Structure 1
């Protein structure tokens, strides 16, 4: 009889102590499952915007720039016949603004043949000059082809670079800007 009382008392202690512990463990597990949804996503950077745009419309990034909290990305289809204008929000959501499927593939021949992508050009420019890639654009003016990359420095100044589409060699473009906020242009 004494033994049954001891067993019953021990079981009661386990239930009294274990109940709140089990409830806390369950609450922690439930919080862990819902925590990511409650945490706000960080702004998408230029690389993330390019990746998101290419998931929506596969091809080659022709240009990318940030206006406020939205990235504007132009993508050329891999066959050069299509062109899409996309917007990537700060949370990574992609919206297709425009699309053309009647482009002349010859117009994009050099871009499609480039060994260095827009994403690689941005990485090369940031490696050469610390900051944040803010814009990239394929440029084939005057017969020369290169990536024009804008790198925003921590002090707000913009450093402009030309990146060779074959070697990824970075050179300063000579058109640096002292503007502190170029992303709100009303062109």
Structure 2
């Protein structure tokens, strides 16, 4: 008889204490299912959006930008030319810093930092000449004997890739060429 009372008392304690906890756990479990059931929104960031996100994270001048899958790789040089950051920008616009240096040779970056046409302006000029989506932009410092310029790769809706050279001072598209295949190399099949 005493044993039955102890078991009954223990069961009552479990129900009194465990009831609210179990109810809270059930509500939390339902809320968790509701949250995970909602589809995750995916926003594909454009080259221009990736450049803006990178510059917000690390102010300076975009040196290069290219897309690898759904991630943009962006190199930014600080405004004084002494700093350099390698950044990844996700499809949602989130920025991850891969590397940062503060001992760059400012003289090597002088032409880029003082260029009248930025990477963003070079992208606009290339898109005006060849509509599509910017896939990459790269600063070419002119070490090959030519004046510095921006090389911008644009992929058109028909699958062609256009490589435009944009003048660093005027923004004029000075040279461009097209690949007939979509892999970006110069071979035509």
Query: What's the TM-score, normalizing by structure 1?
Result: 0.74
For residues 178 and 99 of structure 1, the distance between their equivalents in structure 2, rounded to whole angstroms, comes to 38
Residue equivalent to 1:117 = 118
* CA root-mean-square deviation: 1.9
Q: Deviations over 1:17-63 (max 9, x none)?
A: xxxxxxxxxxxxxxxxxxxx967142000000000000111000000
Aligned-partner Cα distance in 2 for 1:126–1:139: 19
Look up the match of 2:164: 161
TM-score by length of 2: 0.73
Query: Conserved in 2, the CA contact under 8 Å of 1:156 and 1:181?
Result: no
Count of paired positions: 147
Supply the distance in 2 between the matched residues of 1:179 and 1:50 (Cα, whole angstroms): 27
Cross-structure match for 1:43: 44
- What is the CA–CA distance in structure 2 between the aligned matches of 1:168 and 1:133, rounded to whole Å? 16
Residue 93 of structure 1 and its aligned partner are, at CA, apart by 0.5
Structure 1: any 5+ residue segments left out of the alignment? 1-36, 183-187
Which structure 1 residue ranges, 4+ long, deviate > 3 Å from structure 2?
A: none
Aligned counterpart, 2:181? 179
Q: Which residue of 2 aligns with 1:58?
A: 59
Matched, 1:133 2:157: no
> Is contact 1:133-1:151 (8 Å) kept?
yes
**CA distance in structure 2 between the partners assigned to 1:181 and 1:61 by the alignment:** 24
Higher helix residue share:
1
Q: In structure 2, what is the equivalent of residue 106 of structure 1?
A: 107
User: 1:117-159: CA deviations, max 9, x gaps?
Assistant: 0000000000011111111000023232000000101122110
Q: Which runs of 5+ in 2 are unaligned?
A: 1-37, 185-189
